[in-house]
Structure 1
Amino acid sequence: MTITTNSLVPQDGQDWLKSAARAGYAARGLVFLIVGYFSFRAAFASGEAMDTKDAIEVIAGSVFGTILLVAMVVALAAFSAWRLIQVLMDVDNHGTGAKGVFVRGGLLVSAFSYGALAFYAASLVIGLGSGGGEGGGGGAISAGYEAGFGIWLTYLIAAGMAGAAIAHFIKGAKAGFEKYMDIPEARRRILKPVCQFGLLARGVTFMVLAGLLATGAAEYSSGDTPGLDAALSEISGWSFGWLFLSLTGLGLIAFGVYCVAEAIYRRINMPDVPGVD
């Protein structure tokens, strides 16, 4: 049977891989729904903005926390593996041009980020978890400072964050996600603007984080680099910060909805896997 890039690979043996990828999108969505909710609430209360690790801790503290954490570990690990498939197999046909390499580079960073988040969730399951934020490459930056090139590495990561922000702005403004999703028309009218808003809000957090990294590059020798929670806290300190933070919180909730929509409607084009029929 001929396999096209616009259709799912019709191999029943690969269904579990596709299901794992969808579970990963759903897990990412749950994390950002939690982060967005608490960010929105922090805008009107004395609470603090949280990051993705904080969201995992919220899940751990819920009813059936251990069961949910184990599910998150599996789902986030699956999402990380799916990102690697997207990078290595180029199942979405991004190509090897400058734009394609940039997109695939971003997917690679995402693979490592969510792999680290899965590891963190696993550490909570076995009782080894410790607090910490979703950093802008904190471990790498700390090692870079020890090697003597930490400032330049920080600037490089900040540039990557700014690039990711621009990519989210473009993807949100042009609704570029639609070419990878099959959303029914009746739901598209609602989901499209919600997904666009979510991508734009996520772009804002990336841009603020890039600014924090760049302006504080000389001060991170301790490895205490800012993460998503720091970006949200920075937003809360702006003039009318409560308004911007509440909008960003709603936007991150919308980004969570976007991730869940991907879990349901995204086309998962799996490559041929040796030994899978």
Structure 2
Amino acid sequence: MTDKAPAWVVPVMRAGYAARGAVYTVVGGLALLAALRGGQAEGTTDALADLRSVPWGVALLWAIAIGLIAYMVWRLIDAWMDLECHGTDGKGIIARVGQAVTGVIHGAIGVSVASTAMGSGGSGGDGAQTATQKLMSMPWGPWLVMAAGLVTIGAGIYYAHKGLTEKYKRDIRVTPLARKLDPVMKFGLVAEGVVVGIIGVSIFYAGMTVDPSEAGGVGTALDQIRSAAFGRILLGVVAVGLIGFAVENFIEAAYRIVPRRSGDDVMTLARRAKLKAEGKLNEVSS
């Protein structure tokens, strides 16, 4: 295959997913503590800033920052070279643009985490509001903000759909651990979809009301869940889901394949499920 992916994209990809897993471990863990003990859940940047007070915390922040920037590099190369074989039709182009956008977003978070490691990080919620305010000041600003909100809502729907339809199985190699944690990964993606969807709604509402203060990030979304009826229970469920999303990222870091690197013969969770449904599982190695 002349367009086979270069070998270096694999460790870059693994570093990126591991870093994202670390981020959601911290955010989900602190949200779970907030649900159990009461109090306010923290956004991504604020939650990671707490790591500065623990032994090796600054070193861990730098590792997460580098990993998130690696995730950006992976996603941009992934989209450019079409390493996951999405194709060049309309659906494929949308998928690849989405990969690039999520990569840039995580790269920006990585820069923010590096700033936090240096002791100059700000509030995650303020960051979302600042970005919304900058968009709002542009020509057609409120419309741009509402469009960004709709895109974010679409990303939330994508995560939830990916979990419910088990699309995540396509590129994960079959291992005993991956099979055992499959329900955790599914629940985690749905929970992430809920949180991202709420963030999108807040951004859309900020554009509709021309009020940047209405926009928020993960912390705002978790606070909105906390303020609902049975909020602490809901927050606890979502927090466990975010930890599940962290698990999903760690599994991807360990067992994810790059289709243009590994070829078509690798036994993935999706291929195994298809063979099992067709009654052909025993005919191949599982």
Give the TM-score normalised by structure 2: 0.83
Q: Secondary structure at the match of 2:257?
A: coil
Instruction: Give the structure 1 partner of residue 33 of structure 2.
Output: 41
* Structure 1 residues 266 and 4: alpha-carbon distance in aligned structure 2, compared to 1, 3 A threshold: farther
Q: Which runs of 5+ in 1 are unaligned?
A: 272-277
Q: Secondary structure at the match of 1:170?
A: helix
Which one-letter code corresponds to 1:264 in the other structure?
A
When the two chains are superposed, the root-mean-square deviation of aligned CA atoms in Å is 2.3
For residues 135 and 192 of structure 1, the distance between their equivalents in structure 2, rounded to whole angstroms, comes to 34
1:34-73 Cα distance to aligned partner (Å, 9 max, x none): 1111112211223311222123212332211222222222
Task: For residue 164 of structure 1, report the CA deviation from its aligned partner.
Answer: 1.1
For residues 244 and 144 of structure 2, the distance between their equivalents in structure 1, rounded to whole angstroms, comes to 32
Q: Which runs of 5+ in 2 are unaligned?
A: 262-286
Of stretches 170-179 and 252-261 in structure 1, the one that deviates more from structure 2 is 170-179
Which is richer in helix? 2
1:170-208 Cα distance to aligned partner (Å, 9 max, x none): 210111111111031x32432111110000001111222
For residues 169 and 2 of structure 2, the distance between their equivalents in structure 1, rounded to whole angstroms, comes to 21
Q: Secondary structure at the match of 1:49?
A: coil
For residues 52 and 87 of structure 2, the distance between their equivalents in structure 1, rounded to whole angstroms, comes to 40
* Structure 1 residues 100 and 107: alpha-carbon distance in aligned structure 2, compared to 1, 3 A threshold: same
Match of 2:10 among 18, 23, 39: 18
Q: Secondary structure at the match of 2:54?
A: coil
Which one-letter code corresponds to 1:179 in the other structure?
R
Q: Secondary structure at the match of 1:160?
A: helix
Instruction: Give the structure 1 partner of residue 67 of structure 2.
Output: 75
Instruction: Give the structure 1 partner of residue 169 of structure 2.
Output: 178
Which one-letter code corresponds to 1:93 in the other structure?
C
1:95 aligns with 2:65: no
Which one-letter code corresponds to 1:241 in the other structure?
G
Q: Secondary structure at the match of 1:133?
A: helix
Instruction: Give the structure 1 partner of residue 187 of structure 2.
Output: 197
Of stretches 147-156 and 120-129 in structure 1, the one that deviates more from structure 2 is 120-129
For residues 124 and 42 of structure 1, the distance between their equivalents in structure 2, rounded to whole angstroms, comes to 22
1:75-118 Cα distance to aligned partner (Å, 9 max, x none): 11111110111111110011222322222222222111111111
Task: For residue 135 of structure 1, report the CA deviation from its aligned partner.
Answer: 5.5
* Structure 1 residues 84 and 180: alpha-carbon distance in aligned structure 2, compared to 1, 3 A threshold: same
Of stretches 93-102 and 29-38 in structure 1, the one that deviates more from structure 2 is 93-102
1:241 aligns with 2:228: no
Which one-letter code corresponds to 1:92 in the other structure?
E
Instruction: Give the structure 2 partner of residue 275 of structure 1.
Output: none
Instruction: Give the structure 1 partner of residue 104 of structure 2.
Output: 112
Of stretches 201-210 and 143-152 in structure 1, the one that deviates more from structure 2 is 143-152
1:256 aligns with 2:243: no
1:127-183 Cα distance to aligned partner (Å, 9 max, x none): 3322333855x4443223222422111211111112112211221011111111103
For residues 212 and 116 of structure 2, the distance between their equivalents in structure 1, rounded to whole angstroms, comes to 24
Instruction: Give the structure 1 partner of residue 268 of structure 2.
Output: none
1:29 aligns with 2:30: no
Which one-letter code corresponds to 2:82 in the other structure?
D
Task: For residue 219 of structure 1, report the CA deviation from its aligned partner.
Answer: 4.3
Instruction: Give the structure 2 partner of residue 274 of structure 1.
Output: none
For residues 146 and 266 of structure 1, the distance between their equivalents in structure 2, rounded to whole angstroms, comes to 41
For residues 61 and 48 of structure 1, the distance between their equivalents in structure 2, rounded to whole angstroms, comes to 19
Instruction: Give the structure 1 partner of residue 256 of structure 2.
Output: 266
Instruction: Give the structure 2 partner of residue 216 of structure 1.
Output: 206
Report if aligned partners of 2:173, 2:257 keep a CA contact under 8 Å in 1: yes
Give the TM-score normalised by structure 1: 0.85
For residues 28 and 55 of structure 1, the distance between their equivalents in structure 2, rounded to whole angstroms, comes to 14
Which one-letter code corresponds to 1:41 in the other structure?
L
For residues 135 and 200 of structure 1, the distance between their equivalents in structure 2, rounded to whole angstroms, comes to 25
Report if aligned partners of 2:71, 2:106 keep a CA contact under 8 Å in 1: yes
The count of residues paired between Structure 1 and Structure 2 equals 261
